[in-house]
Chain A
């Protein structure tokens, strides 16, 4: 058993989208839908500002709301914790798209649902996901949470702070945001809290 996970150091990420472009080509993601996008948010007033560059993709939730709603069982959690889809079994009902709180899933023009699969074909070969390899700021780490020596475990231990997206939903994301620049954590969450 393993639990594959990713961490992104927001102190280093510059929101350049190299990861997103790499993902497009690696996984032949059609134009019009995305496995990975960059949300860049600013709070504050001139000149006291905080801008956060936050790449978003499937978080490979430990308690993924997208899985139980799937009527054919083609959306499932693999033994290594990667949340995956068997396209041949997908009837395109979009129930999982509705259930994902993070907008991570899209309908492929060929009629099945798709999303980030942590580049499982690369992981199978012992390589890192395409977005991790190309990231010029080296802010992404990937690996097995159960292995204390994996890149991701090391990154998590070394972080000043760790944030999850929408923790209130209890999805148990396995994509961790490290060292968020805002005082209260991720900028969107903060906005929601104080409004």
Chain B
């Protein structure tokens, strides 16, 4: 079979490198919001610090989004918050992040009803953590964004933020790294198996992924898998899973923009 075109379909990548940064930051922001929530619920002494970190991350993420947006200066940008589109993952994410931002702010201030902030944070942080995977998995036409990413992304998102927490010498973080890494590795394997054993299109997608970053992908997987072995080495124990998770996430976002329509 041979295909030629007059003019080309719009197969260009629609998400560029700032989006990859966004995917990184949003994982951190969502994860931080989750940690803040837990800290609030468990009355952790450092809850104010976590709230502050959450706020900073959310703001950084929003700035990234703003820079990345081709509609940067359109006034109506704000309409995103006035519309009601609960079926749109980005709408959910936007609300999740803004609710988390507001709640974190009051937690940091230590003003207002704690129960309300806790409730808002539970919902907001969950949305913020889950929405990137949702935004990918919603596209049934892009074979690399399978439903498995719905679990893979929150897991690796948490792994990202916990690794950083570990790096920042938060004691409690250490014990979560290995379980999260191993769970992520398991999901990556489920993800790959799903592709390799799927239909024609899934197998093409698998080949495509392997052809466009297969080695990197393997590296990401190995980095997460060796976490139990290196968990005693300071700094490295945090950096290795962080790198692994980021590589895997970025590759799935970047390479997954392909669809195999009509070839």
8 Å CB contact of A103 from B80, B84, B261: B261
Asked whether B70 lies within 8 Å of A92 as measured between CB atoms, the reply is yes
Asked whether B141 lies within 8 Å of A100 as measured between CB atoms, the reply is yes
Asked whether B88 lies within 8 Å of A95 as measured between CB atoms, the reply is yes
Query: Closest CB of chain A to B200's CB: distance in Å?
Result: 6
Interface size class of A (residues with CB under 8 A): 35 or more
Whether, in the assembled complex, B212 has its beta carbon less than 8 Å from a beta carbon of chain A, the answer is: no
8 Å CB contact of A89 from B2, B79, B84, B94: B79
Q: Within the assembled complex, what's the spacing in Å between the Cα atoms of A94 and B71? A: 11
Asked whether B9 lies within 8 Å of A56 as measured between CB atoms, the reply is yes
Query: Closest CB of chain A to B6's CB: distance in Å?
Result: 4
Whether, in the assembled complex, B229 has its beta carbon less than 8 Å from a beta carbon of chain A, the answer is: no
Q: Within the assembled complex, what's the spacing in Å between the Cα atoms of A166 and B201? A: 12
Q: When each residue 84-122 of chain A gets 1 if its CB lies under 8 Å from chain B and 0 otherwise, what string results?
A: 000011111111011111111111010110000000000
Which of the candidate stretches A1-9, A152-160, A184-192 sits at the interface with the other chain? A184-192
Q: Within the assembled complex, what's the spacing in Å between the Cα atoms of A192 and B84? A: 38
Asked whether A17 lies within 8 Å of B7 as measured between CB atoms, the reply is yes
A residues engaging B (CB < 8 A)?
15, 17, 20, 33-34, 36-43, 56, 65, 68-74, 88-95, 97-107, 109, 111-112, 165-166, 169, 186-189, 191-192, 195
B residues engaging A (CB < 8 A)?
1-12, 14-15, 69-72, 74, 76-77, 79-80, 83-85, 87-91, 94, 135, 138-142, 200-201, 257, 259, 261-263
Query: Would you mind naming 30 contact pairs between A and B with Cβ atoms under 8 Å apart?
Result: A20-B7, A34-B7, A39-B9, A41-B3, A42-B3, A68-B85, A69-B89, A69-B90, A69-B135, A70-B85, A71-B80, A72-B91, A74-B79, A88-B74, A88-B76, A90-B71, A91-B69, A95-B89, A99-B139, A101-B140, A102-B9, A102-B261, A103-B9, A103-B261, A105-B10, A107-B70, A111-B72, A169-B141, A188-B261, A192-B201
